Amino acid sequence: MNTRAWIVFLDESGVSLLPQIRRTYSPRGRTPILRHRLNWKRASMAGALGYHSTDPHRGARLCFHLKPGSYDTAGLIEVLEQMKVYYRGERVVLVWDGLSAHWSRAMRAWVAEQDWLTLERLPAYAPELNPVELLWSSLKKRELANLAGDHLADVADATEQGIHRINANPRLPWSFLAHTGLTIHPPHPPNLRKDQ
């Protein structure tokens, strides 16, 4: 593994027009009622959160992709093509889970042609090691909580607002990375120093 590379964690999640029901506050005796159409239209999100292995001063980077339906190998290759442009040819070590589309024959053939990309696999049943899981949790507890949209565009807009919120606070992506127990050198990246 090249040590002068971006370490990037990638994960996918799904959203639908069925609301993510969360507790909320309301005046006593006025229980909020969530009205929605029983609609199963779904979209899929891919998030990639990374940091530079030797220079954390470059900051945490968050890439995001949203599409109707679900991801297959071709859809994930499209996401990786966009990541290649985003990282401008710098070396990337991509860490993801054992989803069959991640390790399919077509994916391995495509990756073999990429000199900028190395794949690493997360252990099975270990979502706590993937910081992107915390990104999904943050979105689903804030922007997507109790959202009863009529169209997938409503869900997409709320999701993009959440991504902007997370990107606007540089401490948040670092906190997702730190929560996994990663050892990042220096131990407190510039936007997480204890003296601030």
State the CB neighbour count (10 A cutoff) for residue 95. Answer: 21
Res 35: pLDDT: 59
Q: Which helix (DSSP H) or strand (DSSP E) does residue 47 occupy?
A: strand 42-52
Distance of CA 169 to the CA centre of its chain: 15
Res 74: pLDDT: 95
Q: What is the pLDDT along the chain (196 residues), one digit of tens a residue?
A: 446 899 999 999 887 655 555 566 667 766 665 555 555 567 888 999 999 888 878 888 999 998 888 899 999 999 999 999 999 979 999 999 999 999 999 999 999 999 999 999 998 888 889 999 999 888 888 777 755 666 677 778 888 898 999 989 988 898 898 888 876 655 555 555 444 4
What backbone torsions phi and psi does residue 116 show, to the nearest 5 degrees? -95, -10
Report d(CA 176, CA 10) in Å as an integer: 13
Pairing of strands 61-68, 6-16: unpaired
What backbone torsions phi and psi does residue 181 show, to the nearest 5 degrees? 90, 10
Report d(CA 155, CA 15) in Å as an integer: 8
Helix, strand or coil, per DSSP, at residue 18:
coil
Alpha-carbon Rg for the chain, nearest whole angstrom, is 18
Query: For the sheet containing 6-16, what is the strand order?
Result: 61-68, 42-52, 6-16, 92-96, 117-121
Res 4: pLDDT: 84
Q: Which helix (DSSP H) or strand (DSSP E) does residue 163 occupy?
A: helix 152-168
Report d(CA 104, CA 10) in Å as an integer: 16
Q: Hey, what are 15's tokens?
A: 């959203």
Contacts of 192 (CB under 8 A, 6+ apart): 171, 174, 175, 178
